[in-house]
A and B are shown apart, each in its own frame.
Chain A
């Protein structure tokens, strides 16, 4: 990995670390949220930006992690780290099974299949409202947020701890994404995106690579969901709705698909834009809609994608 790439990504993470000391408490909370959701978007980008597969149903994986962690802590008596691991395993299994089925469809059919599975998952969450408590949601109580790591007691209600845990997770996600993208797998995924028939006729097992991308992507999403539930002590059905399937797509497009840092940037920017819009209108989704349309029409490559094309060709 070249020095430039390490420096850029390292600087980004460092900047996020330093930020917590200079911004307001409200901003610390918001950035924590942004960082967790950026993990979701980064995973989404592996499938969408690099493999070229548009899923409209990733909320089901986010929700898998979300509810697995929340229920793990409140019902199964797991400590937070155990619940996180449990949720990750659930995410891997669910995305593997769904991937096996959904990837048999291609193009528009694939988009709709993922949308439908996700909608079915959302409805199922509502159907089992006794356990999931529907849109009211599961609240993780304070005493369930305390755990000990390597002998040190930790309380997830502490905003400083939350911020740094989220940052650590995001850093891991970015590094992992970089590794995948610059590895053989990453290049084959791009080849599949660019010309699937050709890639198959060069002797690559396209189905297997797509499944790998799908499971990676779903696992990132589940991990992000679990982190969200544990850090913000809440799991509700709105986080499993179509809105949360469209969000990572929006954030990735805005920041730049097929770039490692694009989703992170896009998530942050969208939060800023919505915040800005909310100050003078209650219809902030209108803003989101307009941004989506403008992106598709004029900036399909997003912010970092355009930067890469014009100036920084080395940007992963």
Chain B
């Protein structure tokens, strides 16, 4: 722990206590970043799962693609990491969204959004995207520089300013999505379709087009999340599995169809993950999280704030 001097004259229990709080603070900070990352990754899934009631197992691969594209764009675009970052923020969601559009049209619509068939088909899609990424980008991990580096100097340790920027950006994006859903006509159309598909059709809402738009929006959102997050992690063709599982955990515990629920769940899980990872082990944190999802699904399937469809 940088900054703590060994051989401090205080008695040992106070020393441990003094060591505890900075560890805790770091754990909470990392947990907050984790929560922001979770909330963003899960947002797209929450929309898709909530409105269309289908499980897109390739969700994690959309994330991975976003990260890979961020790396590739940063390589292609001259002018430093900041330029690359902005360019990626435009290119990645566009390309990933286009892929989602094609998937929805050619695949999901043809199997009529049948839950079981969608899972199997998107598992296939997951393999295809993963392996194509492997062939095109290679098996090694790729680092992407953050658009800016700024170290926040705390008395006990330094903390990355970019990570805090990610937290702020997430809050901003979440609020923007919430605003669209709650305050615009688009949002109303989506909520009606989610609540009762048949009534929506009776009101003249083109449900298929809504589904298409939601699926594309979900993919674009997760691509944006990936562009934001990739400077913190590295891009790797297998990186999609973790966001997939964690997004599911967040969406299910938070409750289907509830953005608020997803956010709250992300905060709880992110902070808990940060603390457990710091003081115990990341693997243990994952075990607890996955078991929690399973039990929530069994005993309280609507999660914390779930909206039941009719």
List residues of A whose CB falls within 8 A of some B CB: 54, 56, 101-102, 104-105, 107-109, 111-113, 116-117, 119-120, 123-124, 126-127, 242, 246, 249, 253, 281-286, 288-293, 295-297, 300
Contacts and interface: CB of A to CB of B under 8 A. Distances in A.
B286 interface: yes
A102 B130 contact: no
Interface residues of B, number: 41
B123 A246 contact: yes
Contact of B119 (A111, A123, A126, A291): A111
A contact face: mostly helix, strand, loop, or mixed: helix
B117 interface: yes
B283 interface: yes
A246 B297 CA distance: 21
B301 A109 contact: yes
A116 B123 CA distance: 16
B127 A286 contact: yes
B206 interface: no
Interface string B21-55: 00000000000000000000000000000000101
Given A285-B127, A288-B127, A293 B107 contact: yes
Contacts of B293: 112-113, 116
Given A112-B55, A120-B294, A54 B116 contact: yes
Interface string B104-142: 000100110001110111011111101110110000000
Closest CB pairs A-B (n = 9): A289-B127, A292-B124, A286-B131, A283-B131, A289-B128, A293-B124, A116-B294, A120-B290, A289-B124
Interface of B: 53, 55, 107, 110-111, 115-117, 119-121, 123-128, 130-132, 134-135, 241, 245, 248-249, 252, 281, 283-284, 286-287, 290-291, 293-295, 297-299, 301
B297 A105 contact: yes
A117 B294 contact: yes
B291 to A, nearest CB: 5
Which one of B110, B252, B284, B298 has the greatest number of beta carbons of chain A within 10 Å?
B298
Contact of A113 (B110, B120, B124, B294): B294
Nearest to B128: A289
16 contacts: A102-B298, A105-B298, A107-B115, A109-B297, A112-B294, A282-B134, A284-B131, A285-B127, A289-B127, A290-B124, A292-B124, A293-B107, A293-B125, A295-B120, A296-B121, A297-B110
A292 B120 CA distance: 7
Given A289-B126, A290-B124, A292-B127, 11 more contacts: A56-B119, A101-B295, A105-B301, A111-B55, A112-B297, A113-B293, A113-B294, A119-B245, A120-B287, A126-B283, A286-B127
B115 A249 contact: no
B131 A113 contact: no
A297 B107 contact: yes
B contact face: mostly helix, strand, loop, or mixed: helix
A292 B249 CA distance: 25
Contacts of B297: 105, 109, 112-113, 116
A123 B290 contact: yes
B198 to A, nearest CB: 19
A120 to B, nearest CB: 4
Contact of A293 (B121, B286, B290, B295): B121
B50 to A, nearest CB: 12
A144 B121 CA distance: 43
Contacts of B124: 288-293, 296
B294 A253 contact: no
Nearest to B106: A297
A78 to B, nearest CB: 28
Contacts of B110: 297
B287 to A, nearest CB: 5
A246 B123 CA distance: 8
A83 to B, nearest CB: 26
Contacts of A300: 117
Contacts of B298: 101-102, 104-105, 109, 113
A289 B301 contact: no
A310 B182 CA distance: 52
Nearest to A53: B116
B296 to A, nearest CB: 9
A216 to B, nearest CB: 21
A116 B284 CA distance: 14
A73 to B, nearest CB: 26
A102 B115 contact: no
A126 B281 CA distance: 12
Contacts of A108: 53, 55, 115, 119
Nearest to A103: B298
A275 to B, nearest CB: 16
Contact of A127 (B53, B281, B291, B294): B281
A246 B295 CA distance: 22
Contact of A292 (B121, B132, B283, B287): B121
Nearest to A109: B297
B111 A297 contact: yes
Contacts of B241: 242
A127 to B, nearest CB: 5
B132 A123 contact: no
Contacts of B121: 292-293, 296-297
B131 A127 contact: no
Nearest to A241: B241
A56 B115 CA distance: 13
A296 B281 contact: no
Given A108-B55, A127-B284, A119 B290 contact: yes
A116 B53 CA distance: 18
A157 to B, nearest CB: 34
B128 A290 contact: yes
